[in-house]
Structure 1
Amino acid sequence: MAPQKGKVGTKGQKQILEENNQTLNFYRIMILGSNGLFLALNGFVFSEFAYFEVAAFLLVAVVHISCYQFLSYMARPKYSSTGQLADGGLDLNVESGVAEHVKDLVIVTSGCQTLGLISRYFWILWAFVPLRAFHMLWKNVLGPYFFAPAPEEPDVDEKKQRKMARKMRYAAQ
């Protein structure tokens, strides 16, 4: 396949708004589906909620609500005073953006919650979330900060060096 020639096309504000609405709808269905399945199976089929299930559900609910609210805040459109669309919000489907990591968190959380119905050991998968967050923090912030090369001293030409030496001699007297 030949590489595409010319400029890469950009999305219009209406297209971003429509795609953001579709993305939010997809993740809303995923969140409601995994929570509904968890509550239905634990409430009706297993007919008891252990302390672990209640605590896990509350934690999952906080994560789901926080992530969804964050995504909807990012995708909030802005309208002009005449009612025309001024800004479709940030594009939630852009690669390597913050929204991508938040969507991944929703997917992992929903997967752990659903697989947790089979066995409690699947909740261990949720431990990879903070490990991944620390890896990204190390790779993007801490690692470059700690291992950055020391700044080089600027080269001073010979004339300026002699002038500085004279000033130092006068200051010493």
Structure 2
Amino acid sequence: MANSSQKKIAHENAKALLSLRKGFIWVNAFYIFYRIIYNWSTFGLKLGFGYIATAGLSIFLYTQINAMGRPRYNSRGELADAGQDLSQEGLVQYAFDIIYVTWFVHVTSAFWSKMWWFYLSIPAYAGWKAWQLAVKPMLARSGMGVPSGAAEASGSTEGTKSKRREKMEKRAEKGPQVRYR
């Protein structure tokens, strides 16, 4: 039997999945009726390909989120597994963000087709995050990202050792100490 926190997670996940389903229905219905049916003369092959590709991506991400967050019940109808908490930070939140950007692009591009360029914010953000989490720390460790004066002033160059480290090395050189009473 699941405890109350698992039941709460299952309830929150069910609400999030329901709102995603409703969002898909409303956004895609709006785009199809307004952009494709009402403004058929301005709808072309490029817009059709863009819509199908981005809608397919968001459907793929939704199925992944749905598989991770769907609660599972045992044969007696009791909650066996609440699924992954969809409100936690991480890749699930990035999937939600991509879906929301896709919805924004679909709604706004129904009025102005240049809004498809906003979709480039996803790889731009991914590049910025990769720079912050991977490239910048590697450059700082190798000394390339730290200005020459700042490293010497802080005492964090590779050639210097902390006092604690020097003390530990001196103790190791002496060998084990035996004390007599």
**Normalised by the shorter chain, which TM-score bucket?**
0.7 to 0.9
Match of 1:61 in 2: 55
For the 8 Å contact 2:14–2:70, the answer to whether it is kept is: no
RMSD: 2.7
Match of 1:85 in 2: 79
**Inter-CA distance 62–146: structure 2 relative to 1 (3 Å threshold):** farther
Letter in 2 for 1:157: K
TM-score by length of 1: 0.75
TM-score by length of 2: 0.72
- Determine helix, strand or coil for the equivalent of 1:91: coil
Q: What is the deviation of 1:78?
A: 3.8
- Consecutive unaligned residues of structure 1, counting only runs of 5 or more, are 1-9, 163-173
Query: More displaced, 48-57 or 12-21?
Result: 48-57
Alignment partner for residue 27 of structure 2, among 34, 41, 48?
A: 34
Give the length in aligned residue pairs. 152
Q: What is the deviation of 1:77?
A: 2.6
Alignment partner for residue 109 of structure 2, among 93, 96, 116?
A: 116
Identity of aligned residues (%): 22
Match of 2:173 in 1: 160
The structure that is helix-richer by fraction is: 2
**Inter-CA distance 40–159: structure 2 relative to 1 (3 Å threshold):** closer
Alignment partner for residue 138 of structure 2, among 132, 135, 145?
A: 145
For the 8 Å contact 2:35–2:111, the answer to whether it is kept is: no
Match of 1:168 in 2: none
- Consecutive unaligned residues of structure 2, counting only runs of 5 or more, are 144-157, 176-181
Residue 23 in structure 1 maps to residue 16 in structure 2:
yes
Residue 126 in structure 1 maps to residue 126 in structure 2:
no
For the 8 Å contact 2:13–2:86, the answer to whether it is kept is: yes
